[in-house]
Amino acid sequence: MHTSALMLRSQARGRARATCVALSSSSRVLVSATPAAAQPTAYCVTPGLTSHTASRRYVSSSSTPQATIQPDPPRKAPVIQTPLPSISSTVARLLPPSVDSTSLPLPREQAESLLAQVIDQVRAAADAKTVQDARAGWDQIDSSVRAKLQEQGVEAAKLTDLATLVVTASNDPRRHPIAFNLYRIAFGSDPAQLPEIKLDTEQLSSTRTEAEVSSSNQAPSSGSSSSSSSTWGDWQSAYHWATLILSGRAPPPPGTMLLLPGEQRSAQASHSSAAYRVFAHLATQGHPRGIFGIGRHLLSTLERGVDPTSMGAMPSTGDHPQRSRQETIAEVERLYRLAGEGGVEEAWFQLGAIYVEGKWVRKDEARARSFLEEGVQRDSPRACAALAQLLTREVQLPLAPSSLSGGKGEQDLSGPAAEEREEKLGRALELLEKGAELGSADCAFAAGMRYLLQEAQPSEGGGQQQVDPSTMMDTSLDPSSSGKATSSSSAADAASLAHEAHRAKHGVSPSNSRASHWLKRSADGGNAVAMMNLARMHLEGRVPPSPTQNDGGDPRKLQLVQAADLYSKILARAMGPEGQRAKALKEIQKKMAEQASGGAKGGQASTSSPQGVREPGLGAGGATGLDDLGARAEEGLRMVREEMEMIAGEQR
């Protein structure tokens, strides 16, 4: 072998080892994430405190910033001298004690043992000296785990559920390779080995519903007589396996880093082809998710600027060797409709998104609404959120200047227009509450913010003053509160104006009890912005006490304890691995922005999703990232401590 080739392979082995370290340790990592919905959320940590006023300001944005992080070139890769963390500590990170054992599909001890084997599998593949050794190591672990689970009478679907729990429990990209391997094992054989299949998308039909497929739960055969797919396997695992590849979250095939650059590109291309074959095998058997996967794969070819006929994602003939963009989109729509009718509620949301974004077709919000309405009827939380956003945007668009208002735009709050506006806002709130009931933390956050009174009112001196929470006429807290005398008529007037403005904007009266109810649901689902807003409500004494708190304890102390707990959770995220990776991301984005602007400082790289579709995440969006929330949480904790000390001093 030529000397230069040997040097390249040696360097590749070093990079593979560094990759394994990034996947297994709690140190900072840079990951490559590509399109769409599955990109890891990016945040950064900035030390220091915000002002007293900023820490108490409500945060109204819930969209999650998306970004693609490119790894440093190999020549700049840092040398990691610290030893790998123990497998037990890595397992504890993937499956911490905070995860309720009742939510685990397998007994905790068994689940931890499986994770330990897969982690060892990933590390061993990174240490392999040849591609053959890396692949043989994977096969050996796969066979060992399958044989043991079959012996114990464990269903493959349980392993699929464990993999899904691992990958959805956190935005940490180090979880993706572990889940990817678990999905492969649960399939019963390596999905990449499925044979080529001739697929004519025009002949596809969703002959089975999601419920029927779930009840049968049999993986398609790989075509090999030695495959165990026919006796032990789970088709859903293959779908998730292929989805990780399609979304750019899957690790490269084993031993890829030992290959030369051209061979590496070929290996990655074979991964994409394997994902298509998985979807094709499922689709030909009438699996709705397989049909949906074919549509997603087809759309991804447009994203990458690839002719879909060359990827096998569309049939071609001698008379028509290539398909136009319009024909491709029409085929995607047909496949999504088939999948949606088969029970894949996500398909209706994606159809709506295509016509809302207008990236590949002319924008058509009326058509988008019809698709989203179908998704709502089929209990899609993402369709609920998207339709609520469309309805709200329709009635909150800026109006043309009016001669009656001195040239300033104003809302017509009377007559049929006002009735239609209130009806749409009411419908939007119902959709958000339905999405929240279906488990969407982002819908719960948006619903809570519709009820939360937060506007500052102008003071007599022209500045801004916060409305005194004690003057808020929240009848859900105290039916007689509207009749209470206030110590200041100006404060009462300000509260009344704030309520009127709130109802005019959101179409619903403010309510501390409803706001705190939904914000708590969202915070319990991991939305960091909901945690911040709920913590502020506790700090200001605006959360109604629960029946369990009426035990003679000091109500104010209980509110402060709740606020401190929420602030602490936000700080733990900001200072933990997610915050560290976010800080590295921000530094990279800053450098990229400076280069793009010719060295000018202060630029900001775009963090929008390539398809404009955002996955639920921590809920921190726009300029309000986890670093900003962390700083506000630190200031909030300081305020809690000061008040607790003041209460203790008064009691002495």
- 296 lies in the same domain as 216: yes
Buried b (16+ CB within 10 A) or exposed e, 561-591: ebbbebbbbbbebbbebbbbbbbbbbebbbe
> Residue 311, Cα to own-chain centre: how many angstroms?
28
Over residues 260-276, mean pLDDT: 88
Adjacent-strand bridge partners of 457: 465
For residue 510, pLDDT over 90 is answered with: yes
Total-model pTM: 0.71
The residue among 278 and 10 whose pLDDT is bigger is: 278
Same domain? 611 vs 539: yes
pLDDT of residue 191: 93
Burial class (CB in 10 A: 0-12, 13-18, 19+), 203: exposed
Nearest to 241 by CA among 291, 177, 295, 320: 177
Domain span at residue 614 reads: 34-71+526-652
Asked whether residue 651 is domain-assigned, the answer is: yes
Q: Judge if 319 and 211 occupy the same domain.
A: yes
- Using 50, 70 and 90 to split pLDDT, how confident is the model at 417? confident
- Neighbouring-strand partners of residue 41: 66
The pLDDT value recorded for residue 515 is 95
Residue 212: CB partners within 8 Å, gap ≥ 6? Answer: none
Cα 302 from chain centroid (whole Å): 23
Place of tokens 């209706």: 348
User: pLDDT digit string (tens) for 370-383?
Assistant: 999 999 999 999 99
Distance of CA 625 to CAs 537, 586, 630, Å? Answer: 20, 10, 9
**Higher local confidence (pLDDT), 201 or 286:** 286
Query: What number is the average pLDDT over the span 381-392?
Result: 95
Of 611 and 277, more confident = 277
Residue 20 shares a structural domain with residue 39: no
* Number of residues in the chain: 652
The reply to whether 472 falls in a domain is no
Number of domains within the chain:
2
Are the beta carbons of 632 and 620 closer than 8 angstroms?
no
The answer on 178 and 145 residing in a single domain is yes
**In this predicted structure, what is the pLDDT of residue 444?**
96
Same domain, 61 and 103: no
Three-state SS letters, 552-573: CCCHHHHHHHHHHHHHHHHHHH
Neighbours of 548 (CB within 10 A): 7
- For range 232-258, the mean pLDDT: 91
> CA 399, CA 409: separation in Å to the nearest integer?
5
pLDDT of residue 156: 94
Mean pLDDT for 556-571 is 91
The single-letter code of the amino acid at 530 is A
The 10s digit of each residue's pLDDT in 451-495 is: 999 754 333 333 333 333 333 323 233 323 333 444 456 777 888
Q: Are residues 11 and 153 in the same domain?
A: yes
Considering the domain architecture, whether residues 224 and 280 belong to the same structural domain is answered as yes
The set of residues, in sequence order, having a beta carbon less than 8 Å from that of 414 and lying 6+ positions away, is none
Q: Which amino acid would we find at residue 182? A: L
Going by C-beta distance under 8 Å and a sequence separation of 6 or more, which residues neighbour residue 25? 82, 84, 85, 90
What is the percent of the chain where pLDDT is above 90?
Answer: 36
Q: Across residues 433-462, what is the average pLDDT? A: 79
End position of a domain, from candidates 272, 294, 324: 324
**22 pLDDT more than 70:** no
Are both 178 and 63 inside the same structural domain? no
CA distances from 507 to 65, 502, 599 (A): 28, 8, 47
Show the tokens assigned to 645.
Answer: 């000390």
Indicate whether 581 pLDDT > 70.
Answer: no
| Average pLDDT score over residue span 179-198 | 92
pLDDT, residue 414, reads: 53
Question: Quick one: 56 and 138 in the same domain?
Answer: no
Residues with Cβ within 8 Å of residue 151, at least 6 apart in sequence:
none
Q: Which has more pLDDT, 210 or 261?
A: 261
Question: What is the model's pLDDT at position 58?
Answer: 67
Q: Does residue 396 have a pLDDT over 70?
A: yes
Separation of alpha carbons 271 and 311, rounded Å: 12
Residues 119 and 48 in one domain: no
In this model, does residue 136 exceed pLDDT 60? Answer: yes
DSSP structure string for 344-378: -HHHHHHHHHHHHH-SSS---HHHHHHHHHHHHHT
Answer whether residue 289 is part of any domain.
yes
pLDDT of amino acid 516: 95
pLDDT over 70 percentage in the chain:
63
More confident residue, 341 or 39: 341
Residue 459, domain member (yes or no): no
Q: Label residue 412 by pLDDT band (50, 70, 90).
A: low
Long-range contacts of residues 419-425, Cβ cutoff 8 Å, at least 24 apart? 420/395, 421/395, 421/507, 422/507, 424/391, 424/392, 424/394, 424/395, 424/507, 425/391, 425/392, 425/395, 425/506, 425/507, 425/508
- What is the dihedral sign for C-alpha 379, 385, 389, 395? positive
Tell me what pLDDT residue 457 has.
39
Report the number of secondary-structure helices (H) and strands (E) in the chain: 23, 2
Integer Cα distance of 156 and 236 in angstroms: 10
Of 267, 301, 324, the residue that ends a domain is 324
pLDDT (0 to 100) of residue 505 = 87
Mean pLDDT of 383-400: 82
Q: How confident is the model at residue 210 (pLDDT cuts 50, 70, 90)?
A: low
Task: Tell me the pLDDT of the chain averaged across its residues.
Answer: 73
Alpha helices in 438-488 (DSSP H): 441-451
Q: Do 580 and 616 belong to one domain?
A: yes
Residue 431 resides in a domain: no
Banded pLDDT at 587 (limits 50, 70, 90) = low
All residues at 6 or more sequence positions from 417 whose CB lies less than 8 Å from its CB, including other chains: none
- Segment 313-341 mean pLDDT: 77
- Residue 276 to residue 272: CA distance in whole angstroms: 6
Whether 38 shows a pLDDT value over 70: the answer reads no
* Phi and psi at residue 474, to the nearest 5°: -90, 95
Tell me which residue of 47, 174, 54, 176 sits closest to 586, measured CA to CA: 47
pLDDT for 268 equals 84
- What pLDDT band is residue 319 in, cutting at 50, 70 and 90? very low
DSSP character for 404? G
Three-state SS for 253?
Answer: coil
Q: Where does a domain end: 324, 355, 379?
A: 324
